[in-house]
Chain A
Amino acid sequence: MTEIIPIKEGIFVNDNKGARLLANKCEKCGYIFFPKATFCLNCYADHLEDVELSQKGRLYSYTTGYMPSMHFTPPYAIGYIDLPEGVRIFTPLIIDENKPFNIGMELELIIEELWQEDDKRIIGYKFKPV
């Protein structure tokens, strides 16, 4: 049977409330970290509270790759998403012919398979145009 493995443990959930990215926030200076930090990288405070990030954000920038990357065959799109919490996330993007990428456009989070290796399916986060 195919084993399903997250690309990294503890960085997203996908349950009946939908897909969310898991971050944490410094209680002192308010910086938010994704993936979670073990202490605040901005002010070195120890205490961080868990937060879930918004499912929708705006495209900061993007590119479509036409040469293979480590796991993706061309064409594949990647970019940075600015989330309302003030966090910028690097992410694979889903190409939708009807919704060409534009800086500032709204995209939403989905969790799905990134690639397969041996008998494993590696799942992770992507963003797709709304």
Chain B
Amino acid sequence: MRPVAVIGVGQSVFGKFPNKTAEELGREAVSAAIADSGIKPSDIQVAYTSRLYDVWVTGQCILKDVGIRGIEMVNVENACCGGATAFRGVWKEIADARYDVGIAIGIESMSTSPIAGKLIPPAKDDLEGQLGLTMPALFAIFARRQMEQYRTTIEDFAMVSVKNHHHGCMNPFAQYKKEFSVQDVLNSRMICDPITLLMCCPNTDGAAAVILCSYNIARRYTTKPIRVLGSSLLSGDYRFLQEDMTISPLGSLAAKKAYDMAGIGPEDLDVVELHDAFANEEMIRYEELGLCKVGEGTRFLREKSTWIGGKIPVNPSGGLLALGHPLSASGIRNIAEIVLHLRGEAGERQTPNAKVGLAHMLGGAVAGLEAGACGIHILAR
């Protein structure tokens, strides 16, 4: 396997753009990533694009208008983990020496999708989905267990949202650049008890793109190549094997595989971006990624360890909660955020002297499985 570097990142502004096509958002992100990398469109040899709703050959539709055509293009879907899946696809192509330069794109226009304005359901015809399971309901069910087992409070859940919105205020691409208090979060509309509106990520339109190349040619294009140290992608195991819903065997195993490949442990990380579709899941993720011990996620949050300026900033971008969550785009966008920190280019929200970062994504509800997919990438300068 060859070492692989990220040499360009770009994203569109995230928000609600019902009058923009998904392809327009995609081109914004791709053009930004190409400009950032210093390569020519004709240098790109392979493209993986992820989108969930509701198209075909979405990569081709975006790329033809920026001058990229006639190369291998793959379109992938893996629910919210699609972006991480596309990134891993390009990483494998280059690591395996099939190609030297490639682009990974994630894109979603929720406003123009068939589920605009609705709660995201599980897979179609899924029995549990028919019986009323939705994404916020599932995470609310986890939240009740967190409250029972760890004495986590609804104020703790609200505090995650306060933190990530605070971070989002420092991100020019964020959908919500607004501070909220714990009271604001608790007073917002109840969605699935105890999850309130401001504990849920919004519906978002947006796109992100990342350009990768073989590490040995990366310095032709940039003085700051960012290495991909670890990559893992797993589907969930059977739910009947998961005794405790507040502990994710899927996330723990995906993290272990990524750490093992990278040859590092969680204590080596300087910055983390993770799937915070619902505020209460951040604590579950702290634990599965090994940022703290199992059962100590709430304490870790209360100690302000994961704020910008804390021991290990988590979701300095604003996360899905404030930056927004265009489903398939998020797994590319959060890798781009880590790259900015490792380059020292994250502006006001920069993690000082960040050397190693981790991007985590989770996607998909399927009856009988813990989750559809979890993808983790570890990057370093």
Contact = CB atoms under 8 A, between A and B. Distances in A.
Interface of A: 7-8, 31, 33, 35, 41-42, 60-72, 76, 78-80, 87-88, 90-92, 103, 114, 124
A24 B245 CA distance: 23
B257 interface: no
A124 B245 CA distance: 25
Residue of A33, A63, A72, A79 with most chain B CB atoms under a 10 A cut-off = A63
A69 B119 contact: yes
B144 A92 contact: no
B131 A91 contact: yes
Contact of B130 (A7, A33, A42): A7
A85 B182 CA distance: 41
Contacts of A71: 130, 132
Contact of B127 (A8, A41, A64, A67): A8
Interface of B: 119, 121, 127-134, 136-137, 140-145, 148, 189-195, 238-241, 245, 367
B189 A78 contact: no
B284 to A, nearest CB: 13
25 contacts: A41-B238, A42-B241, A61-B142, A63-B144, A63-B193, A63-B194, A65-B132, A65-B134, A65-B136, A65-B137, A67-B134, A69-B132, A69-B134, A70-B121, A70-B129, A70-B132, A71-B130, A78-B132, A78-B133, A78-B137, A78-B141, A80-B141, A90-B133, A92-B131, A92-B132
Contact of B132 (A35, A76, A80): A76
Contacts of A80: 141, 245
Given A31-B240, A61-B245, A88-B240, A103 B121 contact: no
B131 A114 contact: yes
A91 B148 CA distance: 20
B290 to A, nearest CB: 25
B190 A90 contact: no
Contact of B191 (A66, A72, A87, A88): A66
Nearest to B126: A70
Contacts of A65: 132, 134, 136-137, 191-193
Given A61-B144, A63-B144, A65-B134, 9 more contacts: A60-B145, A69-B119, A79-B141, A80-B141, A87-B240, A88-B240, A91-B131, A103-B145, A124-B131
